[in-house]
Amino acid sequence: MVEAGGRKVFYTGDSGYFDGYAAIGEKYGPFEASLIQIGAYSVAWPDIHMTPEDAVKAHVDVRAGLLLPVHWATFVLSYHSWSEPVDRLWREAKAYDVPVAIPRPGDRIDVAAPPVVDAWWQPLSG
C-alpha cells in the first residue's frame, strides 16, 4: 500500500493470487487504485505471477477503484502471446464491471478521470 497525497494505492508486486487480498482489503481498503501485475504467468509458477483473471479478483478483493495493469508486454518470460494478458484482463474487467486504465507506455493517468480504453495495443500485436 502507498499513500500519495492522501490517496491510497495498492501495488501487488510479483505475486500469485491468494486469499490474503480480501484480508488486505478489509483491513486497509478501500483503495483509489490498484496496480496489479498481469503478465508472464504460467501454471508452472502460480505463486509468482497472477493470471489476468486472478488480477481482477485481487483488485475486487482489495476493494480498489481503478485497476491499472502492470508487468505485461515487457520481457518474454512465459508462453503466452504479447497481448494475451491485456486482452484477457480487459475482457474480465468488463465482465465484472471493474474500471480499468490501460495507458500507452509513458502516459500519465488521472485516477479521478481515467481515459477510455482504446485497445491501442491490438494493432501492435500482429
Q: For 20-60, what is each residue's pLDDT tens digit?
A: 999 999 999 999 999 999 988 888 888 988 999 999 999 99
Total structural domains within the chain: 1
Q: For 73-119, what is each residue's pLDDT tens digit?
A: 777 778 888 788 999 999 999 999 999 999 988 889 899 999 899 88
Which of 66, 64, 79, 62 minimizes the C-alpha distance to 25? 62
SS3 for 2?
strand
Q: For 7-27, what is each residue's pLDDT tens digit?
A: 899 999 999 999 999 999 999
CATH number of the domain at 53, please.
Answer: 3.60.15.10
DSSP annotation string for 43-111: TT-TTTS--HHHHHHHHHHTTEEEEEEES-SSS--SSS-SSHHHHHHHHHHHHTT--B--PPTT----T
Given a cut of 90, whether residue 66 has pLDDT beyond it is yes
In this structure, what DSSP letter does residue 124 have? G
Q: Give the burial string for 23-39 (b: 16+ CB within 10 Å, else e).
A: ebbeeebebebbbbbbb
Q: Residue 24: in which H helix or E strand, if any?
A: helix 20-28
| Residue-level pLDDT at 122 | 83
CA distance 92 to 104: 20
Domain coverage including residue 90 = 2-124
Contact 113, 72 (CB under 8 A): no
What global pTM score does this model have? 0.90
